[in-house]
Homo-oligomer: A and B are copies of this chain.
Amino acid sequence: MDERELLLLGMLMVQSQHGYQINEFIERNLGHIIDMKKPTAYALLERLCQAGYVKVRTEREGKRPPRKVYHITSAGSIVFLDLLRENLAQAEHMTFAGDVGLMFLDHLPREEVIALLRQRLSAVEEQLTAHEHAPRHEHGLGVDLALEHALLLERAEQQWLASVIQRLEPLPE
């Protein structure tokens, strides 16, 4: 549920950082793990601050714009551990938007459905090769595990889609 808070607190557990830094890291390295926009992160940091889970200190270095450096508090690290335990123990029940369309495939000609699903398959395979070529061992075990996770599920997705397409195709005589 609260994976965004967990992520922010976790990053601050590793080291105190300012918002821009956090956003940079997420955007650059965590794109396939979580999709959180900058204003969301800034707002969340603000909220964590008001809740007393982090403290801010404003710093300016040279002539750069001033930064708000966030530090996790002891209350925050307790919350972090709770969220972490919850996150590790929980399995999310996945539902897929893409399954809805399958319910209505009778409303399009069979060949068109097949063509469209082949498009979907290509998209999955693109994701797959992108993740296969992603660099490893750069940002810790967790990031690598997540990458592996994505790969495995994408392969399952690929297989399933291929088998669906196959069954929709008319059998050769």
Contact = CB atoms under 8 A, between A and B. Distances in A.
- Interface size range on A against B: 35 or more
A150 interface: yes
A35 B112 CA distance: 28
A100 to B, nearest CB: 4
Number of copies of this protein chain within its complex = 2
Interface of A: 1, 3, 6-7, 10, 13, 32-35, 80-81, 84-85, 87-108, 112-113, 116-117, 119-121, 123-124, 127, 140-143, 145-146, 148-150, 152-157, 159-160, 164
Minimum-distance CB pairs A-B, first 7 = A103-B142, A87-B101, A91-B123, A156-B156, A99-B146, A88-B116, A102-B142
